[in-house]
Amino acid sequence: MQSVTTPRVVIHPTESISKDEQTQLLIRAAPEHLARLPKWLDNGVMSAQEIDDYLARLDEPKRGTLGELRDSILRAIPEAEQGMSYGSPAFRLDGQTIAGFAAFKNHLSYLPHSGSVIPELAGEVASYATSKGALRFAVDTPLADNLVEKLVAVRIRQAFPET
């Protein structure tokens, strides 16, 4: 991976410091270099515009189907912060990524940002192609609102367990 060099600091991507911490170090050390942040450090304020831009680059029916999924996710968590995570649209709640989606050549994916959401709802998602981290669905068939609500509810419960 590349290093970021400024007049006052060199930051190497490592496992021992989070991207948030790396970004904050760079901002404090060299705020004049913010425009040159590499993509792997760019995790600043999330924006709904980023998702708008992502969807705008897609052809129909992918754009419309993912637009409907976005609306379903926002109905389930209206207070979610929208933006991008790992290059795909994502929805955060209190700093935790709760849901996301992505478009591929021959399918779309719902991304729960947890490897245990899909297995927990195995019966509910049995008619879909799945992996631990994704639920794949047809480009022209939106996921049902009630399924999205269940996926989001499981992820929220996992992200914010009662203490």
Domains annotated on the chain, with CATH: 4-41 (no CATH), 48-159 (3.90.1150.200)
Mapped onto helix, strand or coil, the DSSP state of residue 4 is: strand
In order of 51, 87, 125, the CA distances from 21 in angstroms are 24, 20, 37
Q: Which amino acid is at 89?
A: P
Phi and psi at 140, nearest 5°, equal -115, 15
Q: Residue 119: what pLDDT?
A: 95
59: which 2 tokens? 């052809």
Helix (H) or strand (E) holding 81, with range, is strand 81-85
Q: Residue 32: what pLDDT?
A: 53
Tens place of pLDDT per residue across the chain (163 aa): 455 444 444 545 544 555 555 555 555 555 555 455 444 444 444 589 999 999 999 999 999 999 999 999 999 999 999 999 989 999 999 999 999 999 999 999 999 999 999 999 999 999 999 998 999 999 999 999 999 999 999 999 999 998 4
The rounded distance, in Å, linking the Cα atoms of 105 and 107 is 6
Q: Residue 26: what pLDDT?
A: 54
CB 46 within 8 A of CB 90: yes
In order of 45, 117, 126, 130, 161, the CA distances from 158 in angstroms are 24, 8, 21, 19, 6
Closest C-alpha among 98, 103, 109 to residue 134:
109
Q: Residue 60: what pLDDT?
A: 97
The rounded distance, in Å, linking the Cα atoms of 73 and 55 is 15
What's the CA angle centered on 44, arms 38 and 48, to 5 degrees?
115
Q: Residue 88: what pLDDT?
A: 95
The rounded Cα 122 to chain-centroid distance in angstroms is: 22
Q: Residue 145: what pLDDT?
A: 97
CB 32 within 8 A of CB 7: no
